[in-house]
Amino acid sequence: MNPWKLPGVGDEVAYDPERLAVVTDIRKGVFYLRRPGVKEWPVNDPASLTVRRTRVERIAAGDFQ
């Protein structure tokens, strides 16, 4: 993945080296993440996120069933 490209809604991202979440929304330029059992939260620096799997890859893997 291009490191200069920001993630999109539905992408699975690493926000810490060992922690994954999904981009659930982008409101007025603010990215929001969610992971199981945790409420949605805003991200201060979306450039710090690393895309692990795109939405398309997650769909192909059956994550949306």
Per-residue pLDDT of the chain (65 residues; tens, 9 = 90+): 455 689 999 999 999 988 999 999 999 999 999 999 999 999 999 999 999 999 999 999 998 76
Tokens of 56: 């398309």
Side-chain-facing half-sphere of 43: CA atoms under 13 Å: 24
> CA 32, 34, 40, 43: dihedral to nearest 10 degrees?
-30
Alpha-carbon distance of 9 to 30, in angstroms, equals 12
Query: What is the pTM (predicted TM-score) of this model?
Result: 0.87
Per DSSP (E only), the strands in the chain are: 12-16, 19-27, 30-35, 38-43, 50-53
